[in-house]
Amino acid sequence: MVSPVLSAELRRQARPGTLRARAYFVRGEVTKVTILSGPRVYREPVVAGMKQYTCKGNLTFTADQTFVFTFPPTPKLPGSSAE
C-alpha cells in the first residue's frame, strides 16, 4: 500500500480529517479514483497515492478505502502562556 504524501504546508496546517475514496482496478492497475467524502485539502495526495496501487492477476474490481489523518498535539514552547 502507498500512503498519501502530504506537503510541508499540509503538515503545518495539521488539520485532522477523514477521507473516503474508491479505486477502480482493471487488469490489476488503478484506472480511476473517486473521492466519496472528506476534506478537499487531502484529496490530491490521496488520489496520487491510490493511483500507485497495483494487484497481481488479471482482476477488475473496485476497492473503497478510508484515510484518517491525525496529527500529534503541537508541543507548547517553554515560556509560552496557556490560553
Where are the extended beta strands (E) located within the chain? 17-26, 29-37, 61-69
Burial 17-45 (b: 16+ CB within 10 A, else e): eebebebebeeeebeebebeebeebbeeb
pLDDT at 23: 97
Going by C-alpha positions, the residue among 57, 81, 4 that lies closest to residue 35 is 4
pTM of the model: 0.74
pLDDT at 79: 67
pLDDT at 1: 63
Per residue in 5-15, pLDDT tens?
777 777 777 68
Per residue in 26-59, pLDDT tens?
999 999 999 999 988 889 999 999 999 999 888 8
